[in-house]
Structure formats: C-alpha cells, structure tokens
Structure 1
Amino acid sequence: MRIGLTGGIGSGKSTVAAALVELGGALLVDTDAISRSLTAPGGEAMPAIEAQFGARFVASNGALDRAAMRELAFHDPKAKQALEAILHPMIGAETARQAALAAPGQHVVFDVPLLVESGRWRRLVDRVLVVDCDEATQIARVMARSGLSEAAVRAILAQQATRAQRRAAADAVIHNEGLTLSQLRDEVGRLLTSPLF
C-alpha cells in the first residue's frame, strides 16, 4: 500500500513516520529529506538554483541559503514557483527511484509536508494519513526546536494548508495533542491493525 503522510509543521509527522517504519516495516520516502539533499553542498539542484536566483542565495558552503530563499519566497510568489519548477521534477524522480526499492507487499510511506497543497499526491497514494494538533502546540514546538520567532512560525503556517483542509483530505487522522511519545507510537500501532490498512 502507498500511504501519503502529511501534517503541518510541528505536528509530529516525522515521529509518526519513524513509528510506521519501526512498527509496520514500511519503506519511508521522505520528500523533505530529498529536497534538503538536492540543495545541500554539491546538491544536484544547486547549479540551476544559482543560475536562476544568483550567488546571494548560495551559502558559503555551497548549500542553498534557506533563510534568504524563505524570505524571497514569502514575498515573491513567482520566485517560489521558479524554485518549485527546479526542485519538483528532481524530487519526483528521486521519490520514484526510492519507492521502487520496496519489497513485494511492503507498505511505502511518502512523507510529504505539502501533500494537500500540491494537489497531485492524492492520485498517487492509496491512503492519506494526517498528523494533526492545535496551532498553538505547533507554534510552541517549532519555536522550541528551531529558535524561530512566533511571527516567523506563523508566516510558515500561513503558507500551508489549514488543519481543516488537511483533515478533509485524510483517510485517517492521528490527533497528536497531549500524547507522550509512547502514546503516539501506540496510536500508530492501532492504526496499522485497523481495517483501513
């Protein structure tokens, strides 16, 4: 089965992805990790990004200057589209390559932060699993782990689908509010034994 996993920033999606691998033996294809590798020092996307946007968006180590690009993308929709035009075909090709490594009968979990926003992923997966929590919880978690200001986190949330939009696209929802890591793993375990999966 092909499972699309998504959730807003700070929802606990990565923790759920790890539990799906550990408890369900799934193959994880992490599109965010693929994107980061493409924009790391020596990453396949970096020559095209530098050609499109200029050297000021390349950090001294040769990686994408994420802070500068985030700032540009928030204020210039055309720049965001241009970056996506470079990255999305590369991410798609690597996603397909990794998914093809699945053993017969093995679930493949596609961890896609912008699954709902992209519009195309619903057709590519058998089930959509959404990890959800209150917005205040998302903000607190992201501020604690990243050092971003509340305003910066809210700006990121504003670029993502709403909680209601994600839940509307879901076949199953894990509400990660007030759960310990152990309880969250138990929720994943219950889901894996449900008729849905």
Structure 2
Amino acid sequence: MTETTLLDYVELAVYPIYLICSSLISFLVIFNQRKIKKRFKIDLMITFMIIYISNFFITYFNFQLLNMYIRVGLPMSVIFLSIYIQSKITIIGLTGGIACGKSAVGNYFKDFLKLSIIDCDILSRRVVEVGKPAYNKLKERYGNKILQENGEIDRAELGKLVFNNPAIRKHVTQTTGWYIMLEILKEIYQIGFVKKENVMLLDAPILYETKYLEYICHPIIVVFLSQEQLQIERLVKRDKISEEEALKKIKSQMPISKKIEKADITICNDGTIEDMKKQVNRILPQLVQ
C-alpha cells in the first residue's frame, strides 16, 4: 500500500473543481455540436469520442485517492447526460434590434407552430419584483429614485440611467443576469421535462450581449430592419420618445450588423405582417434540421 502524500490530498480537493469544469465543457460542447459540425465539419460521434477519451485519461491517471469507478464514471455520466438532454431539447434563439418587430415574429411562432416561448423581457421583470435579491441589490445601489410610489421598480427611470450610462448598464446587466439565467433554466426544465415539449423558443433582446445564451440556442434567428431611420421612426412611435432618445437606445445595443453576421437565420422585417409570415414559413425547414 503506497503512502498518501500531500499531492494526493491536493488532487482530492481539486477533483470537485475538475468535475464542475468538465461538466460545463461537456454541456457546452454537446449543446453546440451543430455549430461545431457546421464550422469544423466534425460529427457528434467524433466530438463525443474526443471528450470521452480526454476525460478517461485525465481521471484514470490522476485523483488516485478516489475509487477508479468514481473518478472515471462521474465525468462519463455527465457526458451521457449532456447527450441525453441535447437529444431531448432544441432551443431556438430569437433576437434582433430594438423596435424591429421581434415580438411579432415570436408571436407568430407561438400561434402558428404552437411553440412555448421563454420571454426574457417577462423574466427580467420577474427577477426585480419587490423583495427579490436583484430588486434589493438595485435599490441598495440606486436608491428610491428608481422606485415607484408603491415600491416597485420604475422601469422608465431605470431605463434612463441604463441608456445614458454604460457603466450603470453593465452593472444592472450583471446584477440581474444571473437571476434571469436561473429563471431561464427553470423554464427550460418546465417546458422540456414537465410538459415534454422538445422544441421551444427563447426570445432574448440581448441574446448575444449576455455571452452565454448563444451557447444553448440553435439555430439563432435575428430580426432586423434594413434602414436605421425606419427603426428610429418605429421606436419613436412605440415608446413616445424623441428621435435623440431613440437613437441612444439603438446605439446602446450591439450593432445589428454584428448580430446579422453571427446569426444562423435572418428575417428582414421592413414590410407588412404578411411579408414577415412568408419569411418565417420559408425558414421552417431550417428549424427542424
């Protein structure tokens, strides 16, 4: 029997971290296998084998204090779980520029394809309800100036701060982002495993800006307008604001050209509702690949 060394105890302490990291990598790779296949022409089975063999050798020759079946079996179980979940669930991402008609596209998907919608606008309101952690953090940071008389968050006032100050926008996004992600995961579980629907739509205005959402969605649809002036006019009419304020809101988001470049599918929404529906009908085969 070999003597236990300090290195053995260090490996034992590191193993949970390794398990968490390898689990996250496995989930991300498996969920993005269609993107990987499209970019690198690598099949899912090859991707799976690379992950499997890497995990096997890392765990087999390290973490010697743990039973071999535990140190090798747990990461492998995560890989198989990732494949199972990915095979059960397809999350279509929907994003685009502000006032580009993204909600109209989402509603058509809901009504025509009968898809369940995960609406991040609704979730963002839910996480800042009175008494919730994100609400308390925002109130502590910005005080009563962002509150209505009834104590609820005044979204108009908070919006002014966000659109006029990049530092505040970053802080608010970071403060609410984690809680919104938890709500998204709850919705995915409810739709995919309770309702047993294998396709759902994630409607997220800042899908690309949040960094992580694009890695759980495929395909990603970007709705845009070809002319910025048309976007300004629609935003002025919708929010009853000046053109200057509308332009500030547009400029606060990722340029639509970058979103189009990253998108799997694009919808130009310059025309009528009927024009939009025709475009959606044309892309349906791409959604079920």
**TM-score when normalising by structure 1:** 0.90
CA–CA distance in structure 2, aligned partners of residues 169 and 43 of structure 1: 38
Question: Contact 2:95 / 2:205 at 8 angstroms: preserved in 1?
Answer: yes
Question: Which residue of 131, 140, 143 corresponds with 2:236?
Answer: 143
SS at match of 1:173: strand
Of 215, 218, 241, which residue of structure 2 is paired with 1:126? 218
2:267 to 174, 181, 189: 174
Corresponding residue for 1:184? 276
SS across alignment from 2:106 = helix
Alignment of 1:31-180 (within 5 A): 31-40=120-129, 42=130, 44=132, 45-102=134-191, 103-133=195-225, 134-178=227-271, 180=272
1:82 and 1:168 map into 2 onto residues whose CA distance is 27
Q: Tell me the distance in 2 between the aligned counterparts of 1:6 and 1:112.
A: 5
Listed one character per residue, the Cα deviations across residues 59-98 of structure 1 (whole Å, up to 9, x for unaligned) are 1122222233223233433322322232111111111111
Asked if structure 2 preserves the Cα contact closer than 8 Å seen for 1:7 and 1:131, the reply is yes
> Deviation of residue 23 (structure 1)?
1.4
| Structure 2 residue matching 1:130: 3-state secondary structure | strand
Q: What's the CA shift for 1:53?
A: 1.5
RMSD: 1.8
Higher relative contact order (CA 8 A, sep 6+): 1
What whole-Å deviation, never above 9, does each CA across 1:84-137 have from its counterpart, x for those lacking one? 232111111111111212243531111110112222222111211011112112
C-alpha distance after superposition, 1:25-73 (max 9, x if no partner): 2110011111123335x36232221112211211112222223322323
Larger Rg: 2
Q: CA deviation at 1:10?
A: 0.8
Letter in structure 2 aligned against 1:176: N
Between the aligned partners of 1:31 and 1:61, the Cα distance in structure 2 is 24
More helix by share: 2
State the distance in 2 between where 1:181 and 1:173 align: 16
Q: Which amino acid aligns with 2:106?
A: A
Match of 2:106 in 1: 17
Contact (CA 8 Å) 2:207, 2:214: kept in 1 or not? Answer: yes
Query: TM-score, normalising length from structure 2?
Result: 0.63
| Distance of 1:47 and 1:60 partners within structure 2 | 16
Instruction: Return 5+ residue gaps in structure 2 as ranges.
Output: 1-89
- Report the counterpart of residue 195 of structure 1 in structure 2: 286
Deviates more, 1:180-189 or 1:148-157: 180-189
SS at match of 1:109: strand
Aligned residues, how many? 194
In 2, the alpha carbon distance for the partners of 1:104 and 1:124 equals: 18
CA contact (8 A) 2:164 2:248 kept: no
Contact kept, 8 Å, 1:116 with 1:165, in 2: the verdict is no
SS of 1:190 mapped into structure 2: helix
Structure 1 residues 147, 75: closer, same or farther in 2, change over 3 A?
Answer: closer
Q: Deviations over 1:131-174 (max 9, x none)?
A: 11121121111111210110001001111111210111111011
